[in-house]
Structure 1
């Protein structure tokens, strides 16, 4: 019954697979598993020569999308209550090109960045376990929460989340990242790919989980056009049970269009959508999370 409800939720939020995907607004985060790092830490000399971090953004007052799921941190930033207390000090406020304020987590440091874009209808905690592990392995991680979601600013029309992805990339660049791995789920993956095409950062890889070929978000966000230009290691993941196969059809279209010399298509049997393939699928979800992290670290190793 659980899988049936998940598919039904996806169908409501992905009508025609052009308006993003929705699911439960808050989901409990599974404890991140400890793992050996394959990403080398900066040498002391590199750390000593690194430019000092720029000052953080000033806290902003605004109406969040979900006031009942929002708290203000000790530093004055709004953050989703799903964020563990030990990570709330990593919260900040980003401002998009059209002036919308986003709650975001900025974890880790260094020149190797990772952008993690959640599904529409989900929240900043969708990728929080992966983000924590990557930060511990020496990556600079930014997880923006989309407009009108959680602790990000309420807007009358939930469109233009491509601008939210671009704000996340701009933050990575501002805090010193030189390269970026793009990752997202559902329309979060679609927008991450599109935003990555014109970022000044060097893109080293792409992850798209249950991401449709196109999303209509105020403008048409076209992943097919994007992956023809992003010739970087690419991992696509989808469940054949997601929306009775409709999502798999879209993902296969993206896979066929990809110009990446190294590309992988993982057919996950769980029946779940997006990060639920990791967070709600038990042992297979844990294995998929390990595979995702390994793909990111391998992509960075290949880019050296």
Structure 2
């Protein structure tokens, strides 16, 4: 196990995975919570230095399937939502230069999700954000992976950002499944699953269904269970290389306990547990932590190595 050390005091953060979620917003910047979706901290902080890991082999652009038509619905955070030239709703945290990459997904229960589609090629990456955060949590990582030749889909979950406001968060696993189905529709032949907090839990559950071959898994601060979604059962079906990251100070150690439970249950023969002592939750370990640049490079390198191993 590799440990990232920090002198920063421990931050006590709350976690949706320890109880069911609703759609009631919290104070800005709070992570997954029993009260549902909160507005995220600013996504505009400078990105850490890019990894020195060799780039993934370039994939010639393929013919894309027809785009989804835009849909009219009530977004979760109207004051943080704008409409693209093509008519799709997108979170204003997304830079204007990337808003043409926005689309609208529809889940199996009819909920409309704003999503970003970056890159091209048969090697897919699904990136699922934390409850209480938004589509930009993984945007920097998604952009870099797309530049390396991967096809990336980042859905924004129900009751968050520009995605549809609905009565509850009881079926967020369907949001992860919608992102995975979109990767397959676009031509991905296999997938690396990534997510933070309940986004990691639901990514694992969606990937375990076998919609696409799984080449790797990333779970950051992800609970063993998020509402009725069980990551322990899911990771027992995923033997691909898996990376788990957590901060011991997150919710007084409750998050670490659950991450270790998932790590122990993982069927992966190649798995790593990274302990970050910053006290931050999910992607905040990368965005705000003193060793975030190192962790970010680890994540990128892990995705690249997982695909190299799968070839």
Normalised TM-score (structure 2): 0.89
In 2, Cα distance between the equivalents of 1:235 and 1:75?
A: 37
Deviant stretches of 4+, over 2 Å: 13-20, 22-38
User: Match for residue 45 of structure 2?
Assistant: 30
- Contact residue 29 and residue 126 of structure 1 kept, 8 A: no
Q: Specify every segment of 5 or more residues in structure 1 that has no aligned partner in the other structure, as ranges.
A: none
2:261 to 253, 271, 281: 253
Cα offsets for 1:125-163 (capped at 9, x unmatched): 000000000000100000000001000001011221100
In 1, Cα distance between the equivalents of 2:71 and 2:208?
A: 30
> Aligned to 2:182, what secondary structure does the other structure show?
helix
User: Match for residue 16 of structure 1?
Assistant: 18
Question: In the alignment, is residue 165 of structure 1 matched against residue 180 of structure 2?
Answer: no
User: Match for residue 141 of structure 1?
Assistant: 152
Cα offsets for 1:271-304 (capped at 9, x unmatched): 100000000114x001100100000000000000
1:15–1:250: structure 2 CA closer, same or farther, 3 Å change rule?
closer
Question: In the alignment, is residue 275 of structure 1 matched against residue 292 of structure 2?
Answer: no
Normalised TM-score (structure 1): 0.91
Q: Specify every segment of 5 or more residues in structure 2 that has no aligned partner in the other structure, as ranges.
A: 1-7, 22-30
Question: In the alignment, is residue 229 of structure 1 matched against residue 231 of structure 2?
Answer: no
In 1, Cα distance between the equivalents of 2:243 and 2:19?
A: 20
> Aligned to 1:245, what secondary structure does the other structure show?
helix
Cα deviation for residue 3 of structure 1 reads: 6.2
> Aligned to 2:219, what secondary structure does the other structure show?
strand
In 2, Cα distance between the equivalents of 1:15 and 1:134?
A: 28
Question: In the alignment, is residue 287 of structure 1 matched against residue 294 of structure 2?
Answer: yes
User: Match for residue 244 of structure 1?
Assistant: 252
1:73–1:302: structure 2 CA closer, same or farther, 3 Å change rule?
same
User: Match for residue 200 of structure 1?
Assistant: 211
Q: Which moved more, 1:25-34 or 1:94-103?
A: 25-34
1:120–1:15: structure 2 CA closer, same or farther, 3 Å change rule?
closer
Cα offsets for 1:54-92 (capped at 9, x unmatched): 010001110000000000011111000001111111000
> Aligned to 1:302, what secondary structure does the other structure show?
helix
- Contact residue 14 and residue 21 of structure 1 kept, 8 A: yes
> Aligned to 2:234, what secondary structure does the other structure show?
helix
Q: What RMSD, in angstroms, separates the aligned Cα atoms of the two structures? A: 1.7
1:72-91 → structure 2 map (5 Å cutoff) = 72-91=83-102
